[in-house]
Amino acid sequence: MHFLSGLVFLPLVLKTVASSPNLQSRQGAVAFFQPSLNGGSQLDNAGDGFGEPLNVIISALSSPGVLTDAGILNWARSVNFSTECLDQHLGGPQTANLGDGNGFTNQTAEIREDFGNALLGTCLESLIGGNHFRYWRQNGPEANTGALFLARPNLNHTPEEAYPKRKKNLSENHTIAPNGYDVGRDALVASATSAPTSFGGVTYTATSETITGLLPVGSQGVNHGIALDGIVKLLTITIQ
C-alpha cells in the first residue's frame, strides 16, 4: 500500500512500537517514526551488505535546541564527546534509510569520545581507540519528525600485529568490542541520564525508555557478526 501521509499516520504507527505515552502524539508532534514501516531499516548500511544498529534515538519531543547540528554537538560535549580530530574524518561515511522518504543518506556527522577535552581529546580517541556515534536526522517529506537516530558502537583499539600482512590507516586501527553495540548504547544512555550534564553554559537532563521490536535479536545482518539484544533506547533530552 502506498504510503500517503507519514505525519498524519504517525500517531497510529507509534502505538505499534511501544505503549509508552511519551511515544504518542503531543500537540501534533511525535517522538519518531518507525523506519521499517516505510521501506527503511533500524540497521544502517556499513558496506558489504551488513549494518550497524541505530540503537539510540533522540526523541523529536526533546527541546528543539538539542535537535540542531549545533545543539546535538553541544549536548554531546556535555557527555564527553566532540567533533573528529582536527575535523578530519577517518573512513568512509555510512548510510541509513530512516523511512522518511529521503532513501539512503550519508551520516550527518560522526562524534567521538573526547576524554573530557572538547578541543583535542578526539585526537586521542583516533590513536588509542574509544567510543563514537554516527547520527542521522529523520526529516524527509514522508516522516519529518526531526528525531535523531544514532548508531552507537563501543570501540577497542586493535594493535598493528592483528593485521600483519597489510598496511593500515588509522580508520583500520579500531574494532568493535564483543557486545560492543549494546555496551556502547548503555554507556551513552547512562552518561546522559545519571545526572544533569552541562557544556557551554547549557544544562541538560535526559530520560530514557526501552523499545523492543525495532532491531533484530542476534547477529544476522549485523556488521562484524556481533550479536544484538534487540533493544533501542529512546532519549528525551531537555534543556534546563
| 118-161 residue pLDDT tens | 555 445 555 555 567 899 999 999 999 999 999 987 765 433 33
- Any idea what DSSP says for residue 142? T
Output the nine-digit C-alpha cell for 76.
554531546
pTM listed for this prediction: 0.77
Beta strand 95-97 with 104-106: parallel, antiparallel or unpaired?
A: antiparallel
Residue among 108, 38, 100, 46 nearest 76 (CA):
108
Q: Does the pLDDT at position 1 exceed 90?
A: no
**For residue 122, what is the enclosing H or E element?**
helix 121-128
Number of neighbours of residue 66 by Cβ within 10 angstroms:
23
* In a domain? residue 136: yes
Q: Does the pLDDT at position 238 exceed 90?
A: yes
Q: How many angstroms separate the CA atoms of 189 and 57, rounded?
A: 10
* In a domain? residue 1: no
**For residue 197, what is the enclosing H or E element?**
strand 197-199
Residue among 78, 25, 62, 16 nearest 211 (CA):
16
Residues in the chain, overall count: 240
**For residue 188, what is the enclosing H or E element?**
helix 180-193
Burial 116-131 (b: 16+ CB within 10 A, else e): eebeebbbbbbeebbb
Residue 109 · residue 237 · CB < 8 Å: no
Query: Mean pLDDT across the stretch 182-187?
Result: 91
Residue 46: the pLDDT is 87
Task: Note down the domain range covering 67.
Answer: 6-239
In this predicted model, what pLDDT tens digit does every residue of 98-125 receive, in sequence order?
999 999 999 998 887 755 555 554 455 5
More confident residue, 80 or 222: 222
Q: Does the pLDDT at position 167 exceed 50?
A: no
Instruction: Domain count for the chain, please give it.
Output: 1
* In a domain? residue 225: yes
- Any idea what DSSP says for residue 11? H
